[in-house]
Structure 1
């Protein structure tokens, strides 16, 4: 019974987290849940993956992620321009990846092409009780 309550709470928190992941994205961009699971040997941590589908010319608003989140981002198709913190903006092509440290600011995340779509897989290692994965900068 206790395990079932914990799993239901994790599923509910994950649903909220997926909703929060979509908040930084503009109309036309899609954030699709891909995977979510508590990490059994690291109490209080979860692994959450989302697909970010950018239409041609699509972009995210400048944002940060949950303070606990370490993010691995993998470009599945197309090319994605990204800038993390004060690092230079860089274009990543399909098959390339980058990461974001906890607390990092992500001022640029966009499709590098105006004519072809792009897909990014973002994998978060995050505190299981974090409710929002993505927070728009104000």
Structure 2
């Protein structure tokens, strides 16, 4: 089974983490799934959907120190830069990852006319909060 099919099956059968939405500066972050990993004590799998309006962006940020993140573009195009790596545009169906402690310098919709949606899946220490902290 491919990793994309695995995550699609996992999320299709998931119990939603909650119905409340958190608002990003230029978009919306919605909880999608959250569950402790029974075979990895102390770790949880948390998924959120990030919707970017045309031209929308998130401020530069860090994630929870323990978080390994798999990001999958569901629709549109997302420009991303992690740490000092090159900025790159990811299209629907493409993915990237962030290592624990990474600095997410750029995270934005690459289009000024079409919306974009990203699924971010965190493998994180259970209870490690907040998941995202904007730079000060």
For 1:7, the equivalent position in structure 2 comes to none
The TM-score, its normalising length taken from structure 1, stands at: 0.82
Tell me the SS of whatever aligns to 1:107. strand
Aligned twin of 2:91: 93
Higher relative contact order (CA 8 A, sep 6+): 1
Alignment-derived partner of residue 35 in structure 1: 33
Cα deviations by residue, 1:47-92 (Å, 9 ceiling, x for unpaired): 0000000000000000000000000000000000000000010000
Matched residues, number:
119
Q: Which residue is 2:78 aligned to?
A: 80
From 67, 70, 73, the equivalent of 1:69 is 67
Q: CA deviation at 1:33?
A: 0.7
Larger radius of gyration: 1
Structure number with the higher helix fraction is 1
Q: Which has the higher strand share?
A: 2
Q: Which runs of 4+ in 1 moved over 6 A?
A: none
Give the drift of 1:131: 1.8
Match of 1:26 in 2: 25
Deviation (angstroms), 1:129: 1.7
Cα deviations by residue, 1:89-138 (Å, 9 ceiling, x for unpaired): 00000000000000000010000000000000000000002120000111
Is 1:120 the counterpart of 2:110 in the alignment?
A: no
Q: Could you report, residue by residue, the CA deviation over 1:31-50 in whole angstroms, capped at 9, with x for unpaired residues?
A: 01111000001111000000
Pairing partner for 2:103 from 96, 102, 105: 105
Q: Give the secondary-structure state (helix, strand or coil) at the position aligned to 2:93.
A: coil
Partner SS state of residue 57, structure 2: coil
> Could you tell me which residue of structure 1 aligns to residue 10 of structure 2?
none
